Amino acid sequence: MTRPKVSKGGLVTAEERAEIIRLHGEGKGRNEIGRITRRSQRTVSLICQEEGLEFDVTMTEEATRHRIAQLADRRAMLAEALQDDAERLSEQMWRPSKVFRIGGSSNTYTEHEVDEPPADAKKDLMASAGIAIEKSLKLVPPEREDLEGLAAVDQWLRGMMPGE
């Protein structure tokens, strides 16, 4: 009588082993077999390897390409959101603003409406907008023909950043 082999996930019964082999024969991938049998991908791989079975890497390659494309789409959406944030921050530099202060011996709160934010607030808004633009460009770099204009923009942004 052959003993079932032990894997990291515990003892694998002959029935589980047969089920893994059967699912492989149906063309299911390692991850799917693991989900169905509630065994780790490693256990599935070891059992298939012991049986001389291989997984079709074209399915894995296609899944990887699909996942990379999904991530690229998500990065593009995030880059667009960061660009929108940068634009909103830049617009705030020229809008009416509320300034406030808490102070004095009685710790009094005072506020005033001003035509546009004070210089220190504008500097912070510009720095935040610059960071958002920089991160957006890292997520979705510009096309090669845009690079000439980008160098000038980069220099301008670096000059606007604190400590530069």
Q: Contact at 8 Å (CB) between 16 and 37?
A: yes
Q: How far apart are CA 127 and CA 158, in angstroms?
A: 9
Query: How does pLDDT run across 131-159, given as a tens digit for each residue?
Result: 999 999 999 887 765 556 666 667 677 77
Q: State the pLDDT confidence band at 164, using cuts at 50, 70 and 90.
A: low
pLDDT for residue 6: 47
Q: Contact at 8 Å (CB) between 92 and 117?
A: yes
Where helices occur in 6-146 by DSSP H, the ranges are: 14-25, 30-37, 41-50, 57-92, 119-139
pLDDT for residue 158: 72
Q: Which two tokens stand for residue 110?
A: 């005072």
pLDDT for residue 61: 80
pLDDT for residue 37: 94
Long-range interactions of 17-25: CB distance < 8 A, separation 24+: 17/47, 20/44, 20/47, 20/48, 21/47, 21/48, 21/51, 21/53, 24/48, 24/53, 24/55
Q: State the pLDDT confidence band at 63, using cuts at 50, 70 and 90.
A: confident
Query: How does pLDDT run across 77-136, given as a tens digit for each residue?
Result: 999 999 999 999 999 999 999 999 998 888 999 999 999 999 999 999 999 999 999 999
Is a pLDDT exceeding 90 seen at residue 55? no
Query: How does pLDDT run across 6-41, given as a tens digit for each residue?
Result: 445 568 899 999 999 999 999 888 889 999 999 999
pLDDT for residue 148: 60
Q: Contact at 8 Å (CB) between 93 and 120?
A: no
Length of the chain, in residues: 164
